[in-house]
Amino acid sequence: MKHIQNKVAESRRTLPVTFAICIGIWLTAGLIQHQWWIQFGCFALSVAVMTELDNNNSLIRIYSRAVTASYALLSCVPCFLFPSTSGAVFQLCLVTSLFCLFKCYQDKQAAAWAFYTFLMLGLASMASALTFWLIPVVWLMMATTLYCLSWRTFTATILGLLCPYWFALAWILCFNEGDMMPLLEHLMETGHYILPADYLSLSASQILTFALLTILTITGIVHYSRKYFLDKIRTREIYYSLMMLWGLATLLLIIQPQHDDTMLRVIIIAGSPLLGHFLALTSTRVTNIASYVIAASVVLLTVFNLWMAS
């Protein structure tokens, strides 16, 4: 007899119900009152891209929408991030870049996909200059886990990253009278740091959200480290790539907590597949109880964040 955990993870109704819940959270947070249509549109598109990422890479070896459902729900927990248009655009671009990146697996001739990957990262960097902090680890993923880094693909990544700035430069020259200061000020945000880190400025919502996301992702990592051999090699390498991205984002957020608008989104993107893998592919009495605890924690923290935001 299947546990409720597995019935929910394998149900075809899970994703529609989850998205309906997410819409309810957005409405409660003030979607209509504050006119967050662009932010909500980016969220909805990112859920669609995450679904395709899951489908194309078979992140779970059975039929399950646990990865996408986990991503959608975890994205709604930090509702204090909803007002940020730049953050929403960054999140959509980063999910799309990962979708393109995993197309490069073991193909050192995949210059087109490498270009698209870094084109999306370039667009993400225009929304948040902190994207540049992530680029070295993406190159590292290409070299060590995805095995697609070559001079051909590396050149494509440089061109893709620079492409949005070529258009931005043309816009500045044509419509902004050559004033480069807004672009330079934006790029200078990459080097914005506070030492020592200002933890006192963090709200209870930010601290609790980071703590919950960290616990859930570590749960997924521990589970995957015990069961990785059951997946195909390609799937393993993708999960290892996500762990690297999660580790970097977590470290950066600990060192510079003022960048939570960007780094919490990276943690959600990298951690939700690991949580989805845990929920879909465990079936013991203990993990069934754990799934109840996870669900209750997500609901309670979402309600708390909504209340604090109001």
Structure token digits, residue 36: 């967050």
How far apart are the C-alpha atoms of 155 and 207, rounded to whole Å?
A: 40
Give the pLDDT score at 193: 74
Task: Scan for tokens 């494509």, then name that residue.
Answer: 156
pLDDT band at 181; cut points 50, 70, 90: confident
How far apart are the C-alpha atoms of 194 and 249, rounded to whole Å?
A: 17
Task: Scan for tokens 């909504």, then name that residue.
Answer: 306
Residue 32: strand, helix, or coil? helix
100, amino acid identity: C
Query: Of the candidates 187, 179, 81, which has an alpha carbon nearest to the alpha carbon of residue 128?
Result: 187
- How many CB atoms lie under 10 A from the CB of residue 201? 10
C-alpha 167: how far from its chain's center? 26
Residues 6 or more apart whose CB falls under 8 angstroms from that of 156 comprise: 111, 112, 114, 115, 118
Residue 22: strand, helix, or coil? helix
Give the pLDDT score at 20: 97
Residue 137: strand, helix, or coil? helix
Structure token digits, residue 241: 């790539």
Torsion of CA 219, 78, 128, 174, to 10 degrees: 150
How far apart are the C-alpha atoms of 202 and 258, rounded to whole Å?
A: 8
Query: Where would I find the H helices in 35-150?
Result: 37-57, 66-76, 85-101, 111-127, 131-144
Task: Scan for tokens 């986990």, then name that residue.
Answer: 70
Structure token digits, residue 236: 């393993």
Give the pLDDT score at 201: 86
Residues 258 and 201 sit within 8 Å (Cβ to Cβ): yes
pTM, to two decimals: 0.95
- How many CB atoms lie under 10 A from the CB of residue 287? 18
Residues 6 or more apart whose CB falls under 8 angstroms from that of 265 comprise: 75, 81, 87, 90, 91, 94
Backbone φ/ψ region at 35: left (φ over 0), alpha (ψ -120 to 50), beta: left
Q: What is the mean pLDDT of the chain?
A: 93
35-39, 193-197, 217-221 — which is least confidently predicted? Answer: 193-197
How far apart are the C-alpha atoms of 272 and 46, rounded to whole Å?
A: 13
- How many CB atoms lie under 10 A from the CB of residue 171? 11
pLDDT, mean of residues 6-31: 94
Give the tens place of pLDDT for each residue, 24-50.
Answer: 999 999 999 999 999 999 999 999 999
Give the tens place of pLDDT for each residue, 137-168.
Answer: 999 999 999 999 999 999 999 999 999 999 88
pLDDT band at 170; cut points 50, 70, 90: confident
Give the pLDDT score at 178: 66
